[in-house]
Amino acid sequence: MIGSMIPWDDLETVNADLNAFVDWDKGASGGSGPLAGMTAGIKANIAVEGLPWTGGMGAYRGRVADKDADAVARLRSAGATILGTVNMEEAALGAKTDNPFFGATQNPHRIGYTPGGSSGGSAAAVAAGLCDIALGTDTMGSVRIPAAYCGIYGLKPTRGAISHDGLEIAEPTLDTIGPMARTVEELEACSRILIDCDDAQAIDNIALLENLGEVECEPSVLESYAKARSALQASDHFALPYPLTRIRYAGFILTSLALSKSLGPLLDSDPEGLSGTLKFLMTFGPKRSASDLDEDRRILAEVGEAVNAVVARHGAILLPTAPQAAFSHADKAPANQADFTCLANIAGLPAITIPAGWNDAGLPLGVQIIGAAGNEAGLLQLARQLDNQLSAYRQPTLFFGQ
């Protein structure tokens, strides 16, 4: 595929309603290989040669990547056509993809609703058929939550499985690049290019969180989770040493602290290039006392060990992806959005989200499976099995080519 064969005018017409893509590569071309014929969108914090590498920040609008990130280079070498970069939350810290510099991205299932964050542009572009696959980044759920809100499939790989080369990092110990797609098969094809997958290890048992009820969930979320639990015949339970809300907050503190260090110089050199909201969120980490920071790190370490121990004993963990479906951009983001997804990042484990149903308003819901480190192949295998039983993928109202 060469650039002149891509229906740019039609793509731009659909994108005008979504604001998923922010920069196009009109010279995009594909090649030969396992991803030949597939098109891709790349989150704006991942470098794409010749395009603005903004990280969703006004301060970096003029920064142009001089080479592809390693993950992007892998997609190109496998034949994928890189169409451009997609919208995101500013500095990858946020839950709605309502960017102060690049605008709000819309959920293709309902205009006016969030696609999730921080990889909202990636999920919306894939769900709407603007591209076949997309790369997002996941610090505490930022691939899986948008994928769930937009009714598609998303993978957060094992810590370190995908290079950070060419990534504008939020928090180095939690961050990972991850792919999204509209089918498990396309997700696996993309994942095998990005990750040096080991042979699949069969997952024969699934663990469930016994204190799931501490997180306020929409009733439809619990109903779809129950269907997935039944389909996998999961019955074993485990407990965590701390409440999910406290665990998630500890992860947020570390992210705030990391961003305050990496973006701190911009507060002097380009203060208007960062929004007031981001500046405020960056203050939480530095204001934390030494004893509180020690406690945050201890909580994350203990929870990481606990989650790894559960997966080692049982094989995998089943959880809702998010406690709610997508919500209006006019609404405040719920604080508990990443309560379930943060566990995989803290433990450094791979996790996959798949469509699991819809709420009463017709918005998609997701469930996630957390697997053992390095067992992306086994996780994808189990996800395909569950996907076949749930059959919950539904094309959105706004879909390119309809």
Q: Do 138 and 88 form a contact (C-beta atoms < 8 A)?
A: no
Band of pLDDT at residue 1, cut at 50, 70 and 90: very low
Among 87-91, 157-161, 211-215, 301-305, name the one with the lowest average pLDDT.
211-215
Q: What angle do CA 19, 22, 26 make, to 5 degrees?
A: 120
The CA distances from residue 112 to 83, 352, 395, in Å, are 25, 27, 18
Helix 376-390, helix 184-194: angle, nearest 10: 170
Which percentage of the chain shows pLDDT scores above 90?
Answer: 96
pLDDT in tens, 84-111: 999 999 999 999 999 999 999 999 999 9
Three-state DSSP class for residue 8: helix
pLDDT in tens, 252-273: 999 999 999 999 999 999 999 9
Model's pTM, two decimal places? Answer: 0.97
Q: Do 368 and 320 form a contact (C-beta atoms < 8 A)?
A: yes
Among 1-5, 86-90, 306-310, 345-349, name the one with the lowest average pLDDT.
1-5
pLDDT in tens, 332-366: 999 999 999 999 999 999 999 999 999 999 999 99
Can you point out the beta strands (E) in 210-254?
236-238
In single-letter form, the type of residue at position 43 comes to K
- Catalogue the active-site residues: 43, 118, 142
Band of pLDDT at residue 5, cut at 50, 70 and 90: confident
Band of pLDDT at residue 4, cut at 50, 70 and 90: low
**SS in 3 state form for 296-365?**
HHHHHHHHHHHHHHHHHHHCEEEEECCCCCCCECCCCCCCCCCCCCHHHHHHCCCEEEEEEEECCCCCEE
pLDDT in tens, 50-71: 999 999 999 999 999 999 999 9
Neighbours of 285 (CB within 10 A): 20
Cα–Cα distance measured from residue 370 to residue 181, given in angstroms and rounded to the nearest whole number: 18
- Whether residue 319 has pLDDT greater than 90: yes
Which percentage of the chain shows pLDDT scores above 70?
Answer: 99
Strands 21-24 and 81-86: antiparallel
- Whether residue 233 has pLDDT greater than 70: yes
The CA distances from residue 252 to 39, 94, 167, 257, 339, in Å, are 33, 10, 19, 9, 11
- Whether residue 201 has pLDDT greater than 80: yes
Virtual torsion, Cα 275, 280, 282, 284, nearest 10 deg: -170
